[in-house]
Structure 1
Amino acid sequence: MVETKQQSIIEQLGGISGLIYSTLPILVFVPANAIWGLVPAIWAALGVATAILVWRLIQRTPIQPAISGFFGVGISAFIAYRTGDAKGYFLFGIFTSLAYGAVFLGSILLRWPLVGVIWGFLNGHGNLWRRHRGAVRAYDAATAAWALVFGARYLVQSQLYDADQTGWLAVARIAMGWPLAGAALLVTIWAVRRADRIVEPGPAEDEDLPTRDSEAVEPRDEPRHS
């Protein structure tokens, strides 16, 4: 059951195809901007994102990653157009990473690690994991891994943005995308397996320990008073 749910999560994230599709708009945008300028590059990126969405619809594969990617490209393209600078295309992703990193880190400080909250909802255990210190620590580790991923993305890409390094921004966006997310996902899989082993209920107490009825013995005869 755990393996099936983990596989479902990976599929919803897009799988290997999602890795490829998420990089295509950026791979098109940067050279198109260098050759033809900003506006053609924006239309080229939007065209690629639209083609990916249509292709997933035709293949009847999970389209949630493609829809999210399409809107992400749309927002990024709009910011680039409004700022009049190609590096503006990456601004949305930079501040999204900052926001996600803050949320994941804040959930640890509040003792409600976000990975545990999400997984508890998916596997039906709810908040039962919070009663077990080992499970909380495991979810802390997984949540911290995601906080580090988003924090690293923000720190590196914001520096490149300030330095007007549009080409290196594209490289960093791709290199710090799925590779880092894949590492955090491995930590998450380890954490949920460990936590599930801790939280998984064992034999019921009334099966494990003798009940009062089973412990009862034949009542002794009360001494008779003459």
Structure 2
Amino acid sequence: MTNQPHDSTQDAPTTDAGARVVDSLGGTSGMIRTAIPVVVFVVANAVWTLPVAIGAAVIVALGLTIHRVRGGESIAAASGGLVGVLAAGAVAAMSGSASGYFLLGIWTSLVAGVVVLASVVIRRPVTGLLWNALHGNRYAWRRNSSVRRAHDIATLTFAVLFGARYLVQDWLYDTDATGWLAVAKIAMGAPLFAVAVLVTVWAFRRSTTHFVR
């Protein structure tokens, strides 16, 4: 019901999955790429006007995208940051407020937090679904209380992360603290996400220990 005959080729998905999730952070360079447009936006807005700040952030994000494409990344992978900056800039332009630049991310955190928390409540934690999908959905992992508990913990870690992002940044948005919003966005971005990823890798390994042997 729980264990399957060992197949060494089945070990790869979990190992590769952990590596892919960690790599998705982009390492130190990825964190820097994420932070640069935010810093440029805040500084430009303080020195000039909102339209100039939006344009400066977009230009910098475009430059970073071109640099990544020339470095060998696909356009789809490299343009994610640019799309985010364009969307954030559009919201800021429509709201007429520099704080609006962060509004899309604030509401995204709220929605993500609700979704991952709901997955735990209905006993289908997101990280467990992902692990099983990477293994062809062949394991009855939810019947193993130890494995399910590990994925509950991993998924709840993301729920806490997204919830904290929303609460802190929404409060800063309400007080129109644009500079502190930038600090919170950077500090609560990749560094905290890395912690959640480490917990997820732990849950993946526990699942593999029980099922892929």
The answer on 1:154 being equivalent to 2:171 is no
4+ aligned runs moved over 6 Å, structure 1: none
Report how far residue 16 of structure 1 moved: 2.7
The answer on 1:108 being equivalent to 2:112 is no
Match of 2:148 in 1: 136
Q: Which moved more, 1:140-149 or 1:6-15?
A: 6-15
Q: Percent identity?
A: 45
Q: Which residue identity does 2:71 align to in structure 1?
A: Q
TM-score of the aligned structures, taking structure 1 as reference length = 0.84
Report how far residue 15 of structure 1 moved: 2.9
3-state SS of 1:7 partner: helix
Match of 2:39 in 1: 27
Report how far residue 5 of structure 1 moved: 2.8
Contact 2:22–2:194 at 8 Å: present in 1 too? no
Match of 1:184 in 2: 196
Contact 1:94–1:158 at 8 Å: present in 2 too? yes
Change (3 A) 1:140 1:39: same
Match of 2:103 in 1: 91
Q: Give distance in 2, aligned partners of 1:185 and 1:122.
A: 16
Q: Give distance in 1, aligned partners of 2:62 and 2:138.
A: 37
Structure of greater Rg: 1
3-state SS of 2:124 partner: coil
Match of 2:57 in 1: 45
Unaligned runs of 5+ in 1: 202-226
Contact 2:132–2:141 at 8 Å: present in 1 too? yes
Unaligned runs of 5+ in 2: 1-11
- RMSD (CA atoms): 1.5
The answer on 1:123 being equivalent to 2:131 is no
Report how far residue 84 of structure 1 moved: 0.8
Q: Which has the higher contact order (CA 8 A, sep 6+)?
A: 2
The answer on 1:60 being equivalent to 2:72 is yes
Aligned residues: 201
Contact 2:69–2:78 at 8 Å: present in 1 too? no
